[in-house]
Amino acid sequence: MTDDVLLVHGGNPLEGEIRVRGAKNLVPKAMVAALLGQGPSRLRNVPDIRDVKVVRGLLQLHGVTVRSGEEEGELILDPSHVESANVADIDAHAGSSRIPILFCGPLLHRLGHAFIPGLGGCDIGGRPVDFHFEVLRQFGATIEKHPQGTYLVAAQRLRGTKIELPYPSVGATEQVLLTAVLAEGDTELRNAAIEPEIVDLICVLQKMGAIISMGTDRTILITGVDELGGYNHRALPDRLEAASWACAALATKGDIYVRGARQLEMMTFLNTFRKVGGAFAVDDEGIRFWHPGGELNAIALETDVHPGFQTDWQQPLVVALTQAAGLSIVHETVYESRLGFTSALNQMGAHIQLYRECLGGTPCRFGQRNFLHSAVVSGPSKLLGGELVIPDLRGGFSYLIAALAAEGTSTVHGISLINRGYENFLEKLRALGAHVQLPSEQEMLATV
């Protein structure tokens, strides 16, 4: 489709105000949690992104009534009449999303069975879904794999269990939470993810009647209950989108006020932003990010699970680091293939070298496995417009930042992928003064 391409005329600072709403990494999961309740739930601060539309459609296929509330960005979800969905419909609606895997626990509790199609998602490294199925097996589910997907059956009520994650995976932690809350007895989850979005999901489940406690050592204890109700919840803001706009301000020498951004969940990012040479000011309504002038500083950076520097912050920041004076070292420890996006930046004029070794920090699980997971960024580099093909969600937005910081015009292919996690990003870019055009708009101008 021609409108999956964006023409970006770079070289101008982004200036103005945009707004971020609820976190992509919480809202779809909170929508799935509504399946567990006996009554309707009310979710507020919901962004208009593709992942929300996918989950809304999947819920409706399973008999959940989903409608917009009176407030902007509000959804009312009523699971009173949950039912089985047609396999082909599930497959068609899920598309490339990995979110259907999180339907397993709730559907096993409500219906006694579930079907999960083959799963997609961003190609940034391994996210083994088999581990999700192993977790469900420990709860007592029977699992059968077929060419069209995986069937799960719970012949009786699922039972609490003890699970220790080999790595504090967000998806696996969500799976355990959504399954354990209605399982019989206690569940102990060790080495759990503790991201702010996980904590917000726990808040949602507690509002529904769940009993969940968090230890200080990544241990989560869940006592199963017999029944859950609905919830009324305002989703926490999207700290990952907020950081992307902050990096756009830095790379383009701009000044952006991100309404809705919150300091608490972004403290690690804000420290790094300041070390690089960016400026920010926090108030009750959001955070202003700007380039204060002068040279940016090269830094050593290592991604990690929360409370470390989030992997989703890495790609947008790498674009800004191409404009910093000196050598920056980036060590990616969460997704082994996430630095692959840098090859396109080099074609635009950046100087980024990838390494298999663990550079500038602690040895990680990828160090002995031949993955190019460390980078040395030499700057400042003059970026020139070029042809860019979006590889994944965060890499895609990073390419937009690079195109906006570059001299000349870039053609960015695959922009629909950005809709997965960035609400109204074209309108926001234009509100900040970006010169961007869809091909259809260019054709209209040519005929005028």
Residue 110 forms beta bridges with which residues? none
Of 315, 305, 291, 285, the C-alpha closest to 393 is 315
Rounded CA separation 127/172 (Å)? 10
Per-state percent for the chain, helix, strand, coil, to nearest 5: 35, 25, 40
The SS3 of residue 311 is helix
Rounded CA separation 168/255 (Å)? 35
Question: Is position 157 annotated in a ligand binding site?
Answer: no
**Rounded to 5°, angle at Cα 123 from 122 and 127:** 85
- For residue 154 the two structure tokens come to 């719970």
Question: Is position 191 annotated in a ligand binding site?
Answer: no
Return contacts of 125-133, CB within 8 angstroms, 24+ apart.
Answer: 125/334, 125/335, 125/336, 125/337, 125/338, 126/335, 126/336, 127/98, 127/169, 127/171, 129/98, 129/101, 131/169, 131/172, 132/101, 132/104, 132/171, 132/172, 132/175
Catalytic residue among 122, 247, 358, 364: 122
Residue 63: count of CB within 10 angstroms of its CB = 17
Question: Is position 334 annotated in a ligand binding site?
Answer: yes
Question: Is position 19 annotated in a ligand binding site?
Answer: no
Rounded CA separation 395/137 (Å)? 34
Bond into 117 cis (ω within 30): no
Catalytic site includes residue 203? no
Give Cβ neighbours of residue 12 (< 8 Å, ≥ 6 apart). 252, 404, 433, 434, 435
Question: Is position 238 annotated in a ligand binding site?
Answer: no
Give binding residues for phosphoenolpyruvate as ranges: 24-25
Catalytic annotation, residues? 122
Give binding residues as ranges: 24-25, 98, 312, 334
Give binding residues for UDP-N-acetyl-alpha-D-glucosamine as ranges: 98, 312, 334
